[in-house]
Each structure stands twice: as C-alpha cells, then as structure tokens.
Amino acid sequence: MVRVIVSTTSGPAAAPTAPSAPPRAAHAETALPTAVDVDAAADRLRGVATVTPLEPCERLSAATDARVFLKREDLQRVRSYKLRGAYNLMVQLTEAERAAGIVAASAGNHAQGVAFACRMLGVRGRIYVPTTTPRQKRDRIAFHGGDLVQVISVGSTFDAAAAAAAEDVARTGATIVPPFDDPRTAAGQGTIAAEILEQLHTAPDVVVVPVGGGGCAAGIATYLAERSPNTRLVAAEPAGAASLTAALVAGGPVTLDEIDPFVDGAAVRRIGALPYAVLSAREAEVVQIDEGAICTAMLDLYQSEGVIAEPAGALSVAALTATSIPAGATVVCLVSGGNNDVSRYGEILERSLVHRGLKHYFLVDFPQEPGALRTFLDSVLGPDDDITLFEYVKRNNRETGAALVGVELGAAEGLSALLERMESSPMHVEHLEPGTPAYRYLT
C-alpha cells in the first residue's frame, strides 16, 4: 500500500476529474518494466548517458542527522535524467518506426533528451512544448536537435502539448516517444537506481525522487523493489500539480482541473497509467511540497552547494523537511535537472520569501488627508521592514486611495507586531493571504 502524506508545506491539491485517458502510443508496450529491463537499458546507455556523481551533502546531513547524498542528474549530458528514457526507447525503434519520424511532447527536459537522441540516431522529429516552457529549455532543444528537430510551442501546459502531439501522430503516422507512460522510457530512467546502488556499495535507507508524469519514479521503484527491497521510496510532487496523490485517492489516474505550471518539469495534470500501476503496488510515501518551499530549496542549493537546480530538480531536497528520516540513515535525493532560466530568479526569490513568511501583501486604504503615507512609514513599519511594492489600485484627483503594498520583514516573527500596529493605525488594512483569489489577482 502507498502511504499518501500531505506535508505541512503543501498547499491544497487541485480537484480531480475523470475524463477518458489520453490516447497511448501506437507502438507502446503494455508490460510493466522489470529490473532486467533496467539492466538492459544501462547497457544501451553506456557511452551515451553520463554516469552522474553521487555527492555527499554536509549541510543537509547536519540538518537531518543523516547521511544525505545528492544524485546529480543536473550534470547529465542534457542537464536532466530524461536522456536516459528517451534514448533507451528510441534506440529500440524499428527501421520503419524511425523512418516515419518521431513526435514527442514535453515541458522541456524530455524534449532535450529526444532531440539529443534524434541527432545521435539520425532520426527526424517534431517536439511539442507548452508556451510556458522557459526559453532556456527551448533554446537547448533546438541546439541538441539541430536541423533534425522542429520545436512547436502550443498551449500553456504539458497536457495541451501532449494532445497536439497525439493529433500529429494520428494525422501523419509518426512514431510517438512518450515522456513517461512507456516501459522503455521508465526502464531508461530506472538506470539511475542501478547507478546509486553501485556507487554507494550498499543499499540506501531512503531514496527521494520527484514525480511529474511518474516515469522516473516508476523506473527507480521497479529496480529498488527487486534489487534493494528494504529501501524506502519517497515520491515528492508539487502541491500545485499533485496528480499522483489524486490518482491514489481515486483508485486510478484522473485529470486535475487546474495546476500551477511553475514547477514545469513536474507540472502534469494526469499521472501516467504505467507509473500509477507501478507506484500504487509499491510501498512508498508520497508528499506534496509547496512551490515556495521548492524555491527555497533551489536558492539554498545554489548558495550552499553551488548546484543550479531547476524547480523540479529541487523537489527531492525540499521534501526532506516533510519526510521522517531516522538518525544515521543513508538518504539519496535525486537532483533531477538543472535547466533553469536565469530570468525566473525574480519569481523564485519572491515565492521563497512568501513561503518563509518574510514577504506579505496588504491593501491599504489611506485616509484622504496630507501626510497619510508618512504616518504609515513612520508608525506602522518596523525598523527592519521594507516596502518592496507600492501601487495604487484606484486613483482619484488627489492620487490617494487604496494601495497595494508589499512589505518584506526582517524576520518572520515580526508579522504579529506589524499587524498590531496596522490595527491601531487610522488606516483600513487588509492582509492578502497567499492562495486566495484576491492575492492571485492583485499580485
């Protein structure tokens, strides 16, 4: 049985619905992967995929009183583990399937793996990505694929891109390369587990992996179940796209009504049927992690370890605070990717500050009298507080009225005192809580 654990850092899960499943690949096999399949994939990937480092992390080890290692798939040849599954699948295609050309859908990392494989194998392909895919990822897809690959942006989510890819396959007869819902893809991703066991020379107590569509988690779970059955598997998914949790609650894959696309590498509305079959049968822990906690983990990894992790890449590290770790345990966190667009760091910092309780937004209705703003600055703000945003929501002829005010605190504990000073001031102040419609609309 899978234990579903909603962590203290998680937000509300999106409500699921249950429409019919999306069309499966015409050539996809139905059998679940095995450890033998993973070992065979490792042979195919030899000389193609990098054997990535397994590095001890002193900071996280001290914080958890355990031995924490980072499996650095951000150092893979395409800066994510996705190359493993994409190449393992494509190298097994028949000549006819290759000649038909390939089609793939991806939020960015699977696309880079597919593009790399296209160039290695001389196969032409069309890759559909959401319009929200960071430019850094789109540029890298084009670089890896060269003239063999066409990148097509469509829709705002992975699922929209997947629908467009399925329509392309139905229209052209091209060969689909699924990012997670195929045993060949999952087996390729499972080679990460084989490397971990070889590099540690012993069985880890806990392995923490990110979950989006679930192919990587399924491949790792498969290998550990057969080769290291006493290892706990913790599956971490973003709270704003908790498709695995929704499937476990419903008893099968369902489609989430809404998702937060911020953790683009794991923002999937519907867990894959194959990953669900594997993970629902494997005793594992599933934790939902707030996007702000993920951002904090990203910043800590960069500032302390010099690791540039994308949001999905930091999921496993963020999940450590929501996971019970016995003292002295050996823990492996999969840093799944490092394709992060530097232009996103403003939003990353913002989400981290809000998560840590250091950034707050207020609607302030200033009195229609001179000096109201000066009163707010002098008597309401604390000595370590700072205004980071001031914007009138509506104006009149005197340029006064309700204003959206962003305040960064010197310490999270200072919020109660700030609220007390606001309450005793002559101004009407509304504290905008994260996640509420007013907060999302105004910020």
CATH topology of 3-10+41-82+184-349 equal to that of 357-442? Answer: no
pLDDT in the model for residue 18? 37
Relative to beta strand 330-335, strand 67-72 is parallel
Active site residues: 82, 336
pLDDT in the model for residue 118? 97
pLDDT in the model for residue 170? 97
299-327: burial string, b at 16+ Cβ within 10 Å, e else: bbbbeebebbbbbbbbbbbbbbbbbebee
Q: What does the mean pLDDT of the chain come to?
A: 90
pLDDT in the model for residue 19? 35
Confidence at 72, pLDDT banded by 50, 70, 90: very high
Beta-bridge partners for 56: 69
Beta-bridge partners for 20: none
Higher confidence at residue 215 or residue 133?
A: 215
Please state the rounded mean pLDDT for residues 99-127. Answer: 95
pLDDT in the model for residue 69? 98
Dihedral pair phi/psi, residue 152, rounded to 5° = -125, 120
What is the rounded CA–CA span in Å between residue 41 and residue 219?
Answer: 11
DSSP string covering 311-361 = TGGGHHHHGGGGS---TT-EEEEEE-B----GGGHHHHHHHHHHHTT-EEE
| pTM given for the model | 0.88
pLDDT in the model for residue 2? 45
Angle 72-276-11 (CA atoms, 0-180°, nearest 5)? 70
For residue 425, give Cα distances in angstroms to 22, 23, 78, 214, 404: 56, 60, 55, 51, 17
**May I ask the CATH class of domain 83-176?**
alpha beta
Instruction: Please state, as a whole number, how many other Cβ atoms lie within 10 Å of the Cβ of residue 50.
Output: 16
pLDDT in the model for residue 435? 75
Angle 305-306-312 (CA atoms, 0-180°, nearest 5)? 90
CATH architecture of residue range(s) 357-442: 2-Layer Sandwich (3.30)
pLDDT tens digits along 143-153? 999 999 999 99
Q: How many residues would you count in the chain?
A: 443
Residue type, 395: R
Q: Is the pLDDT of residue 7 over 70?
A: no
Q: Please, what sign has the CA dihedral across residues 406, 407, 413, 414?
A: negative
For residue 152, give Cα distances in angstroms to 9, 125, 160, 277: 35, 11, 12, 31
Q: Is the pLDDT of residue 276 over 70?
A: yes
Residue type, 114: V
Q: What is the CATH number of domain 3-10+41-82+184-349?
A: 3.40.50.1100
The residue extents of the domains of the chain are 3-10+41-82+184-349, 83-176, 357-442
pLDDT in the model for residue 6? 43
Answer yes or no: are the C-beta atoms of 140 and 78 closer than 8 Å: yes
Please state the rounded mean pLDDT for residues 408-419. Answer: 94
What is the rounded CA–CA span in Å between residue 185 and residue 45?
Answer: 12
